[in-house]
Amino acid sequence: MLTGLGLGRLFPDLNEQLEKVKVDTVSLPIAIGLFAMMYPVLAKVRYRSIGTVVADRRSLAMSLILNWLIGPAVMFALAWLMLPDLPEYRTGLIIVGLARCIAMVLIWNDLAGGNRELAAVLVAINSMFQIVAYSLLGYFYLELLPGWLGLDSNGIEVTVWEIAKSVLIFLGGPLLAGFLTRTFGERAKGTEWYEQRFLAKIGPVALYGLLFTIVILFALQGDRITNQPLDVGRIALPLLAYFAIMWFGSFYAGVKMRLPYDRNAAIAFTAAGNNFELAIAVAIGVFGVSSGQALAGVVGPLIEVPVLVGLVYIALATKRRFYPAQAAVGNG
Protein backbone atom coordinates (compact mmCIF):
# COMPACT_ATOMS: atom_id res chain seq x y z
CA MET A 1 0.00 0.00 0.00
CA LEU A 2 2.82 2.41 0.88
CA THR A 3 4.60 1.52 -2.36
CA GLY A 4 1.47 2.27 -4.37
CA LEU A 5 0.87 5.59 -2.61
CA GLY A 6 4.52 6.52 -3.17
CA LEU A 7 4.28 5.74 -6.88
CA GLY A 8 1.07 7.74 -7.15
CA ARG A 9 2.71 10.76 -5.55
CA LEU A 10 5.96 10.39 -7.46
CA PHE A 11 4.21 10.07 -10.83
CA PRO A 12 1.02 12.21 -10.71
CA ASP A 13 0.22 11.37 -14.34
CA LEU A 14 0.44 7.60 -13.72
CA ASN A 15 -3.35 7.32 -13.81
CA GLU A 16 -3.48 8.92 -17.26
CA GLN A 17 -0.68 6.71 -18.55
CA LEU A 18 -2.35 3.52 -17.31
CA GLU A 19 -5.65 4.67 -18.81
CA LYS A 20 -3.98 4.25 -22.21
CA VAL A 21 -3.53 0.50 -21.65
CA LYS A 22 -7.12 -0.63 -21.47
CA VAL A 23 -9.20 -3.33 -23.06
CA ASP A 24 -12.52 -1.60 -23.73
CA THR A 25 -13.21 0.03 -20.31
CA VAL A 26 -11.11 -2.40 -18.26
CA SER A 27 -7.71 -1.43 -16.87
CA LEU A 28 -5.26 -3.96 -18.30
CA PRO A 29 -2.83 -3.88 -15.32
CA ILE A 30 -5.67 -4.56 -12.87
CA ALA A 31 -7.06 -7.31 -15.10
CA ILE A 32 -3.61 -8.97 -15.25
CA GLY A 33 -3.16 -8.72 -11.49
CA LEU A 34 -6.58 -10.20 -10.78
CA PHE A 35 -6.03 -13.05 -13.25
CA ALA A 36 -2.68 -13.90 -11.62
CA MET A 37 -4.35 -13.75 -8.21
CA MET A 38 -7.40 -15.87 -9.03
CA TYR A 39 -6.06 -18.48 -11.45
CA PRO A 40 -3.97 -20.53 -8.95
CA VAL A 41 -6.86 -20.51 -6.46
CA LEU A 42 -9.35 -21.71 -9.07
CA ALA A 43 -6.86 -24.33 -10.29
CA LYS A 44 -6.94 -25.79 -6.74
CA VAL A 45 -10.72 -26.29 -6.78
CA ARG A 46 -11.78 -29.95 -6.97
CA TYR A 47 -14.51 -29.45 -9.53
CA ARG A 48 -15.72 -33.04 -9.22
CA SER A 49 -16.71 -32.26 -5.61
CA ILE A 50 -18.92 -29.32 -6.50
CA GLY A 51 -22.01 -31.55 -6.72
CA THR A 52 -21.69 -32.25 -2.99
CA VAL A 53 -21.38 -28.53 -2.29
CA VAL A 54 -24.50 -27.67 -4.31
CA ALA A 55 -26.43 -30.25 -2.32
CA ASP A 56 -25.75 -28.23 0.86
CA ARG A 57 -28.81 -26.03 0.48
CA ARG A 58 -28.44 -24.53 3.96
CA SER A 59 -25.07 -22.94 3.11
CA LEU A 60 -26.30 -21.69 -0.27
CA ALA A 61 -29.48 -20.19 1.20
CA MET A 62 -27.52 -18.47 3.98
CA SER A 63 -25.08 -16.96 1.48
CA LEU A 64 -27.87 -15.70 -0.80
CA ILE A 65 -29.65 -14.00 2.10
CA LEU A 66 -26.44 -12.39 3.37
CA ASN A 67 -25.31 -11.20 -0.06
CA TRP A 68 -28.51 -10.03 -1.69
CA LEU A 69 -30.82 -9.05 1.18
CA ILE A 70 -28.71 -8.12 4.20
CA GLY A 71 -25.50 -6.77 2.57
CA PRO A 72 -27.04 -4.03 0.38
CA ALA A 73 -29.44 -3.03 3.18
CA VAL A 74 -26.58 -2.69 5.69
CA MET A 75 -24.53 -0.52 3.32
CA PHE A 76 -27.57 1.65 2.53
CA ALA A 77 -28.25 2.21 6.23
CA LEU A 78 -24.61 2.96 7.10
CA ALA A 79 -24.19 5.34 4.15
CA TRP A 80 -27.22 7.39 5.16
CA LEU A 81 -26.42 7.31 8.89
CA MET A 82 -22.75 8.27 8.57
CA LEU A 83 -22.71 10.41 5.40
CA PRO A 84 -26.01 12.34 5.49
CA ASP A 85 -24.30 15.54 4.33
CA LEU A 86 -22.20 14.00 1.53
CA PRO A 87 -24.58 12.73 -1.18
CA GLU A 88 -21.89 11.86 -3.76
CA TYR A 89 -19.88 9.70 -1.37
CA ARG A 90 -23.08 8.19 0.01
CA THR A 91 -24.22 7.15 -3.47
CA GLY A 92 -20.78 5.72 -4.22
CA LEU A 93 -20.87 3.56 -1.12
CA ILE A 94 -24.33 2.24 -1.96
CA ILE A 95 -23.04 1.31 -5.43
CA VAL A 96 -20.18 -0.60 -3.74
CA GLY A 97 -22.63 -2.38 -1.43
CA LEU A 98 -24.72 -3.59 -4.37
CA ALA A 99 -21.71 -5.17 -6.12
CA ARG A 100 -21.23 -8.55 -4.45
CA CYS A 101 -17.76 -10.08 -4.48
CA ILE A 102 -16.76 -12.37 -7.36
CA ALA A 103 -12.97 -12.10 -7.39
CA MET A 104 -10.71 -11.26 -4.47
CA VAL A 105 -12.86 -13.22 -2.00
CA LEU A 106 -11.33 -16.41 -3.40
CA ILE A 107 -7.88 -15.54 -2.11
CA TRP A 108 -9.11 -14.38 1.31
CA ASN A 109 -11.00 -17.65 1.64
CA ASP A 110 -7.96 -19.63 0.52
CA LEU A 111 -5.63 -17.88 2.98
CA ALA A 112 -8.09 -18.54 5.80
CA GLY A 113 -8.42 -22.23 4.93
CA GLY A 114 -12.03 -21.96 3.79
CA ASN A 115 -13.81 -24.43 1.55
CA ARG A 116 -12.57 -23.74 -2.01
CA GLU A 117 -15.36 -25.63 -3.74
CA LEU A 118 -18.07 -23.79 -1.79
CA ALA A 119 -16.37 -20.44 -2.43
CA ALA A 120 -16.25 -21.17 -6.17
CA VAL A 121 -19.96 -22.06 -6.21
CA LEU A 122 -20.93 -18.96 -4.19
CA VAL A 123 -18.88 -16.74 -6.50
CA ALA A 124 -20.58 -18.28 -9.55
CA ILE A 125 -24.03 -17.73 -7.99
CA ASN A 126 -23.15 -14.12 -7.13
CA SER A 127 -22.07 -13.60 -10.73
CA MET A 128 -25.39 -14.80 -12.12
CA PHE A 129 -27.40 -12.77 -9.61
CA GLN A 130 -25.27 -9.72 -10.34
CA ILE A 131 -26.09 -9.79 -14.03
CA VAL A 132 -29.82 -10.03 -13.33
CA ALA A 133 -30.26 -8.02 -10.12
CA TYR A 134 -27.67 -5.23 -10.04
CA SER A 135 -29.62 -2.66 -12.06
CA LEU A 136 -32.87 -3.50 -10.24
CA LEU A 137 -31.22 -3.15 -6.83
CA GLY A 138 -29.64 0.13 -7.96
CA TYR A 139 -33.08 1.47 -8.84
CA PHE A 140 -34.53 0.25 -5.53
CA TYR A 141 -31.80 1.60 -3.20
CA LEU A 142 -31.00 4.84 -5.05
CA GLU A 143 -34.46 5.92 -6.24
CA LEU A 144 -37.39 3.90 -4.92
CA LEU A 145 -36.50 3.35 -1.23
CA PRO A 146 -35.17 6.91 -0.63
CA GLY A 147 -38.40 8.24 -2.15
CA TRP A 148 -40.49 6.12 0.23
CA LEU A 149 -38.42 7.37 3.18
CA GLY A 150 -38.56 11.02 2.06
CA LEU A 151 -34.81 11.12 1.32
CA ASP A 152 -32.87 12.48 -1.66
CA SER A 153 -32.61 10.06 -4.59
CA ASN A 154 -29.94 9.50 -7.24
CA GLY A 155 -30.48 6.97 -10.01
CA ILE A 156 -27.97 4.97 -12.01
CA GLU A 157 -28.26 3.52 -15.47
CA VAL A 158 -26.12 0.48 -16.20
CA THR A 159 -26.86 -2.15 -18.83
CA VAL A 160 -26.96 -5.88 -18.30
CA TRP A 161 -24.12 -6.24 -20.83
CA GLU A 162 -21.84 -3.90 -18.86
CA ILE A 163 -22.32 -6.04 -15.77
CA ALA A 164 -21.97 -9.31 -17.70
CA LYS A 165 -18.76 -8.02 -19.28
CA SER A 166 -17.25 -7.35 -15.84
CA VAL A 167 -18.20 -10.85 -14.71
CA LEU A 168 -16.77 -12.49 -17.83
CA ILE A 169 -13.47 -10.62 -17.63
CA PHE A 170 -12.80 -10.84 -13.92
CA LEU A 171 -14.24 -14.29 -13.23
CA GLY A 172 -14.86 -16.13 -16.50
CA GLY A 173 -11.26 -16.09 -17.75
CA PRO A 174 -9.50 -17.40 -14.62
CA LEU A 175 -12.35 -19.84 -13.88
CA LEU A 176 -12.10 -21.41 -17.34
CA ALA A 177 -8.29 -21.52 -17.11
CA GLY A 178 -8.41 -23.14 -13.66
CA PHE A 179 -10.96 -25.75 -14.75
CA LEU A 180 -9.06 -26.67 -17.91
CA THR A 181 -5.73 -26.82 -16.06
CA ARG A 182 -7.05 -29.30 -13.50
CA THR A 183 -8.91 -31.36 -16.10
CA PHE A 184 -5.98 -31.80 -18.47
CA GLY A 185 -3.31 -31.81 -15.75
CA GLU A 186 -4.91 -34.71 -13.89
CA ARG A 187 -5.58 -36.53 -17.15
CA ALA A 188 -1.94 -36.21 -18.25
CA LYS A 189 -0.04 -36.68 -14.97
CA GLY A 190 -2.56 -37.91 -12.39
CA THR A 191 -4.16 -36.31 -9.32
CA GLU A 192 -1.19 -36.88 -6.98
CA TRP A 193 1.29 -35.12 -9.31
CA TYR A 194 -1.17 -32.30 -9.96
CA GLU A 195 -1.94 -31.55 -6.31
CA GLN A 196 1.45 -32.29 -4.77
CA ARG A 197 3.79 -30.83 -7.39
CA PHE A 198 2.02 -28.59 -9.89
CA LEU A 199 -0.15 -26.68 -7.41
CA ALA A 200 2.85 -26.16 -5.13
CA LYS A 201 4.66 -24.42 -8.00
CA ILE A 202 1.85 -22.09 -9.07
CA GLY A 203 0.53 -21.37 -5.56
CA PRO A 204 2.79 -18.35 -4.85
CA VAL A 205 1.60 -16.66 -8.05
CA ALA A 206 -1.69 -15.87 -6.32
CA LEU A 207 0.06 -13.81 -3.64
CA TYR A 208 2.23 -12.06 -6.22
CA GLY A 209 -0.94 -11.17 -8.13
CA LEU A 210 -2.56 -9.87 -4.93
CA LEU A 211 0.44 -7.67 -4.09
CA PHE A 212 0.65 -6.36 -7.66
CA THR A 213 -3.06 -5.50 -7.68
CA ILE A 214 -2.79 -3.66 -4.36
CA VAL A 215 0.19 -1.61 -5.59
CA ILE A 216 -1.65 -0.67 -8.81
CA LEU A 217 -4.88 0.28 -7.01
CA PHE A 218 -3.09 2.55 -4.55
CA ALA A 219 -0.85 4.02 -7.26
CA LEU A 220 -3.82 4.93 -9.46
CA GLN A 221 -5.37 7.07 -6.71
CA GLY A 222 -2.28 7.85 -4.61
CA ASP A 223 -2.27 11.57 -5.43
CA ARG A 224 -5.98 11.99 -4.80
CA ILE A 225 -5.96 9.98 -1.57
CA THR A 226 -3.10 11.94 -0.03
CA ASN A 227 -4.66 15.26 -1.13
CA GLN A 228 -8.10 14.46 0.34
CA PRO A 229 -7.34 12.56 3.56
CA LEU A 230 -10.38 13.89 5.46
CA ASP A 231 -12.75 12.80 2.70
CA VAL A 232 -11.10 9.38 2.58
CA GLY A 233 -11.51 9.12 6.35
CA ARG A 234 -15.22 9.94 6.15
CA ILE A 235 -15.71 7.29 3.46
CA ALA A 236 -13.65 4.76 5.40
CA LEU A 237 -15.78 4.84 8.57
CA PRO A 238 -18.98 3.29 7.12
CA LEU A 239 -16.86 0.83 5.15
CA LEU A 240 -15.11 -0.35 8.31
CA ALA A 241 -18.47 -0.73 10.04
CA TYR A 242 -19.86 -2.61 7.04
CA PHE A 243 -17.02 -5.16 6.85
CA ALA A 244 -17.18 -5.76 10.61
CA ILE A 245 -20.96 -6.20 10.68
CA MET A 246 -21.08 -8.50 7.66
CA TRP A 247 -18.12 -10.72 8.55
CA PHE A 248 -18.64 -11.10 12.31
CA GLY A 249 -22.42 -11.34 11.94
CA SER A 250 -22.10 -14.02 9.27
CA PHE A 251 -19.43 -16.00 11.12
CA TYR A 252 -21.36 -15.87 14.41
CA ALA A 253 -24.51 -17.09 12.67
CA GLY A 254 -22.51 -19.95 11.12
CA VAL A 255 -21.16 -20.98 14.52
CA LYS A 256 -24.68 -21.00 15.94
CA MET A 257 -25.85 -23.09 12.97
CA ARG A 258 -22.96 -25.50 13.67
CA LEU A 259 -21.50 -25.13 10.20
CA PRO A 260 -18.02 -26.65 9.75
CA TYR A 261 -15.23 -24.07 9.85
CA ASP A 262 -14.31 -24.32 6.18
CA ARG A 263 -17.89 -23.65 5.04
CA ASN A 264 -18.43 -20.94 7.62
CA ALA A 265 -15.27 -19.12 6.52
CA ALA A 266 -16.26 -19.30 2.84
CA ILE A 267 -19.71 -17.85 3.58
CA ALA A 268 -18.35 -15.09 5.86
CA PHE A 269 -15.72 -13.86 3.41
CA THR A 270 -18.18 -13.99 0.51
CA ALA A 271 -20.68 -11.95 2.52
CA ALA A 272 -18.11 -9.31 3.55
CA GLY A 273 -16.39 -8.79 0.18
CA ASN A 274 -17.49 -6.61 -2.72
CA ASN A 275 -16.92 -6.54 -6.47
CA PHE A 276 -14.95 -3.29 -6.51
CA GLU A 277 -14.12 -3.66 -10.22
CA LEU A 278 -17.80 -3.41 -11.15
CA ALA A 279 -18.55 -0.68 -8.57
CA ILE A 280 -15.70 1.54 -9.81
CA ALA A 281 -16.65 0.97 -13.46
CA VAL A 282 -20.29 1.90 -12.77
CA ALA A 283 -19.37 4.98 -10.70
CA ILE A 284 -16.96 6.27 -13.36
CA GLY A 285 -19.28 5.43 -16.25
CA VAL A 286 -22.34 7.12 -14.71
CA PHE A 287 -20.86 10.02 -12.71
CA GLY A 288 -17.38 10.59 -14.21
CA VAL A 289 -13.82 9.76 -13.21
CA SER A 290 -13.43 12.86 -11.01
CA SER A 291 -16.77 12.45 -9.19
CA GLY A 292 -17.23 11.83 -5.50
CA GLN A 293 -19.00 8.58 -6.37
CA ALA A 294 -15.87 7.37 -8.17
CA LEU A 295 -13.65 8.32 -5.22
CA ALA A 296 -15.93 6.36 -2.87
CA GLY A 297 -15.70 3.38 -5.22
CA VAL A 298 -11.90 3.54 -5.23
CA VAL A 299 -11.65 3.93 -1.45
CA GLY A 300 -13.75 0.74 -1.15
CA PRO A 301 -11.00 -1.75 -2.06
CA LEU A 302 -8.34 0.38 -0.39
CA ILE A 303 -10.14 -0.19 2.92
CA GLU A 304 -11.31 -3.71 2.07
CA VAL A 305 -7.83 -5.08 1.36
CA PRO A 306 -6.17 -4.39 4.75
CA VAL A 307 -9.38 -5.12 6.68
CA LEU A 308 -9.93 -8.51 5.07
CA VAL A 309 -6.25 -9.39 5.49
CA GLY A 310 -6.83 -8.77 9.19
CA LEU A 311 -10.00 -10.85 9.10
CA VAL A 312 -7.99 -13.77 7.69
CA TYR A 313 -5.96 -13.78 10.90
CA ILE A 314 -9.11 -13.40 12.99
CA ALA A 315 -10.69 -16.33 11.13
CA LEU A 316 -7.69 -18.54 11.91
CA ALA A 317 -7.82 -17.45 15.56
CA THR A 318 -11.55 -18.21 15.81
CA LYS A 319 -10.88 -21.58 14.23
CA ARG A 320 -8.64 -22.45 17.17
CA ARG A 321 -11.26 -21.08 19.58
CA PHE A 322 -14.52 -22.48 18.18
CA TYR A 323 -13.24 -25.41 16.09
CA PRO A 324 -10.36 -26.90 18.11
CA ALA A 325 -10.68 -30.36 16.54
CA GLN A 326 -10.49 -28.95 13.00
CA ALA A 327 -7.66 -26.56 13.95
CA ALA A 328 -5.59 -29.52 15.11
CA VAL A 329 -5.93 -31.11 11.68
CA GLY A 330 -4.85 -27.94 9.85
CA ASN A 331 -6.17 -25.95 6.91
CA GLY A 332 -5.99 -28.72 4.30
pLDDT of residue 331: 47
Number of domains into which the chain is organized: 1
Q: Is residue 55 part of a domain?
A: yes
CB-CB neighbours of 32 under 10 Å: 15
Q: What is the DSSP string of 155-220?
A: -----HHHHHHHHIIIIIHHHHHHHHHHHHHHHHH-HHHIIIIIHHHHHHHHHHHHHHHHHHHHHH
Does residue 19 lie in a domain region? no
pLDDT at 101 (0 to 100): 84
Tell whether 20 is covered by a domain.
no
pLDDT at residue 155 in the model: 63
Establish if 180 belongs to a structural domain.
Answer: yes
**Which pLDDT does position 138 carry in this prediction?**
86
Residue ranges, the chain, pLDDT below 70: 19, 23-26, 154-160, 162-163, 166, 285, 288-290, 326-332
- Give pLDDT, residue 158: 64
Residues 6+ apart with CB under 8 A from 261: 113, 319, 322, 323, 326, 327
**111: containing domain:** 2-9+27-317
pLDDT of the residue at 74: 97
pLDDT at position 249 is: 96
Residue 89 included in any domain = yes
Residue 227 has what pLDDT?
A: 78
Contacts of 15 (CB under 8 A, 6+ apart): 8, 220, 221, 223
Q: Is residue 21 domain-resident?
A: no
Q: Is residue 97 part of a domain?
A: yes
> Which CATH number does the domain housing residue 65 bear?
1.20.1530.20
64 in Cβ contact with 133 (< 8 Å): no
Task: Please report whether residue 329 resides in a domain.
Answer: no
